[in-house]
Amino acid sequence: MNKLTHFDESGRARMVDVSGKDESARVAVASGVIRMQPQTLRRIRADGLKKGNVLAVADVAAVMGAKKTPDLIPMCHPLMLSGVEVAFSELEGGAGMKVEVSVNCSGKTGVEMEALMAVSTALLTIYDMCKAVDRSMRITGLQLEEKRGGKSGDWVRDQ
């Protein structure tokens, strides 16, 4: 992994040709955090915001974000995703929420960008739905947690 694959010999950006690669099961897990005031989290839990059920909408937004990744990230391949699993967990002390998304497919290229985009979209949706009551929210810690499959093999973030 010493060479950037999205550039040709002259330095121009390009979509990587994956036609010669074998299909394999691919999985990527990403996560991110949105920090907020404890009362904002209480309102999310109580379904007490005018725009509706925040986590239900953020869950759908995550799936849409994963599916729309190649529309927003120029060199991403369109993929037929097999599944997108979204999990929300509260941070200690009611200081916010962690979003974790697992994306999988059977294909010639990985789904890391789809997992990262899904988390980003879910976090931004939470922000959008809660900004009327808490403009101090902060989105942090967007990261890949693990990836499985493909020629480069498995990778898991060191804790």
23-39 residue pLDDT tens? 889 999 999 999 999 99
Instruction: Kindly state whether residue 73 falls inside one of the protein's structural domains.
Output: yes
In the sheet that 96-107 helps form, which strands lie side by side, from edge to edge?
81-90, 96-107, 24-35, 138-148, 155-156
Q: Give the pLDDT confidence of 133-158 residue by residue, as tens digits.
A: 999 999 999 999 999 998 888 999 99
* Cβ–Cβ < 8 Å for 136, 107: no
CATH of the domain at 91: 3.30.70.640
Residue 128 falls inside a structural domain: yes
Say if 37 falls within a structural domain.
yes
Is residue 128 among the annotated active site residues?
yes
Boundaries of domain holding 54 = 24-149
The answer to whether residue 5 sits within a structural domain is no
Catalytic residue among 128, 134, 154, 158: 128
Distances (CA, A) of 134 to 1, 42, 122, 131: 42, 12, 17, 5
Domain count within the chain? 1
pTM of this structure: 0.90
The pLDDT value recorded for residue 3 is 63
Does residue 1 form part of some domain? no
Residue closest to 152 by CA, chosen among 107, 109, 103 = 109
